[in-house]
Amino acid sequence: MNKKILSMLIIFTINLNFVSCNMSRKQRFETEFLLFFDTVTQVVAYVDSKEEFNKLSDIIYNGLKKYHELFDIYNNYDGINNLKTINDNAGFAPVKVDREIIDLLIFSRQEYENSNGKCNVALGSVLEIWHEYREYGIENPENASLPTMQELKAAKQHTDINNIIIDKKASTVYLADPKISIDVGAVAKGFATEQVCQLAVENGFNSFLISVGGNVRAIGSKVNGKPWNVGIQNPDINDANKIIHTTLLNDKSLVTSGDYQRYYIVDGKKYNHIINPDTLFPADFFKSVTIICEDSAKADALSTTVFTMPFDEGLEYINNIPDTEAVWVFQDGTKKYSNNFKDYVLK
């Protein structure tokens, strides 16, 4: 497993033993797989039997597979109209898609409005430029370079989210600008995580924890009624302390965005993958931002959005969202918190 994937793994600080029989007959099982959303998925659950855990694992595996294929912007799949299909038909024709894509784009539009445009899934033309420069720079570090502001500004002319035309009744999506491109990297993992968890709940599972590349969703509590213990990774991966806090989660999500996951170096400076839509350059206010709230899709969107905001702006934004907390880690290692974040921290 490569170091990039390892750095994305959330640190689970959970007792590995089975629950004692005098507390419950349920047992603790866990599994992980590396297939979807280019990251590791981990599942931990308290259930009655291995067969029951296998059922849960199948629900999560099959659900993530479906969302991975639908939300993919790079690859085609037989018999599936996905986000790549929509992008490929920009300016040409509406594309009939599954309801899951419609729901994702409706959610994304809501986050765009809530964040005054900071969370914009129509920024794909700009993100694609950075992706190409980053990939080349990683493979050829001695020749790594930055995009020019001229090409970034030209791409920004094709980032109007209103050109994503959604027809709910016909279940179609049409990109009215032939040069616009959808990129759902800020919301896709969290949205998929939330949906597969709710499907598992509908099938009777009420005590499990899932992490999709660090997008953590806790359903219920552990079988003994105690909260799930989830560590927040230290964004300084060279520090001996691998976590900055252990959090206590009951029916909550925890998502971190940071500069230590995907980046490249140009002239000795790190450029991460989280692009500020105002400057068109990677945001560099913080090393990481972690969000705690109930919905994993919301937490995913917020972690990226707040990462691109100056601290005072982000703090005000988070403190005005009910039941939502955040911790910011600055470039010098300083940590600051929303009003009630420390209520979730193991004392």
Is 70 exceeded by the pLDDT of residue 19?
no
The three-state secondary structure class of 310 is coil
Could you state, in order of their start, the residue ranges of all structural domains in the chain? 83-175
Residue 24's pLDDT band (boundaries 50, 70, 90)? Answer: low
pLDDT at 167: 98
For 293-333, write each residue's pLDDT tens digit: 999 999 999 999 999 999 999 999 999 999 999 999 999 99
Where is pLDDT greater, at 261 or 219?
219
Q: Residue 5 pLDDT more than 70?
A: no
What's the rounded mean pLDDT across residues 175-182? 98
DSSP state of 88: H
Is the sign of the CA dihedral 6, 12, 15, 19 positive or negative?
A: negative
Residue 291 is which amino acid? I
Q: Residue 6's pLDDT is what? A: 36
Query: Among 11-15, 61-65, 195-199, 275-279, whose mean pLDDT is lowest?
Result: 11-15
So what's the pLDDT on residue 177? 98
Token representation of residue 22 = 């005098």
If DSSP codes are grouped into helix, strand and coil, which group holds residue 101?
Answer: helix
Alpha carbon 229 to chain centroid, angstroms: 20
Asked if residue 17 has pLDDT above 50, the reply is no
Average pLDDT of the segment spanning 100-104: 98
Helix (H, G, I), strand (E, B) or coil at 144: coil
Q: pLDDT per residue over 64-90, tens digit each?
A: 999 999 999 999 999 999 999 999 999
CA distance 276 to 281: 6
Per-residue pLDDT at 275: 97
Given this model, what pLDDT does residue 35 score?
84
What's the CA gap between 122 and 163, in Å, rounded? 8
Inform me whether the pLDDT recorded for 185 exceeds 90.
Answer: yes
Q: What is the CATH number of domain 83-175?
A: 1.10.3980.10
| 109-129 confidence digits (pLDDT tens) | 999 999 999 999 999 999 999
* Tokens linked to 237: 């991966």
* Residue 290 pLDDT > 80: yes
* Per-residue pLDDT tens over the stretch 235-247: 988 888 889 999 9
Measure the CA–CA gap between 247 and 229, rounded to whole angstroms. Answer: 6
